[in-house]
Amino acid sequence: MTTPLTLIPGRRPDGSAQLAVSGEIDMSNAASLAEALETTSGPLVLDLTDVEYLDSAGLSVLFAHADRLELIATPMLGPVLTVSGLTDLAPVHGIGEGPAPE
């Protein structure tokens, strides 16, 4: 069974590409996230503020694209993003170090 995941591409006010993600990212749907990231070229703001769960399959997808991602998350995702080391590879906003960019 695939866990519900919604991916909404768009643009931020400054014109940069954005992908808003909501639901849970796990091994049942990580391929959908990977496909969405692969079809978007260049820098990308990945809005994870509506993600309720992120497992190792989802982290693997994020690591594969970390060099071009800027993440917006919530304090709930902070521990997994920090312990995994993703915060050392990509800017992450909203996990406790100040406000997320607009």
Tell me the CATH number at 86.
Answer: 3.30.750.24
Mean pLDDT of 54-82: 97
Domain count, the chain: 1
Which long-range contacts does 76-80 make (Cβ < 8 Å, 24+ apart)? 76/52, 77/48, 77/51, 80/54
pLDDT in tens, 21-41: 999 999 999 999 999 999 998
Instruction: Kindly state the tokens that stand for 95.
Output: 């996990």
- Predicted confidence (pLDDT) per residue in 14-23, tens digit: 999 999 999 9
Calculate the alpha carbon distances from 67 to 5, 70, 77, 98 in Å.
23, 9, 19, 22
Residue 50 lies in a domain: yes
Domain coverage including residue 73: 5-93
Q: Is 66 a residue whose pLDDT tops 90? A: yes
Residue 102 has pLDDT above 70, yes or no: no
- Per-residue confidence band for 92, with pLDDT thresholds at 50, 70 and 90: very high
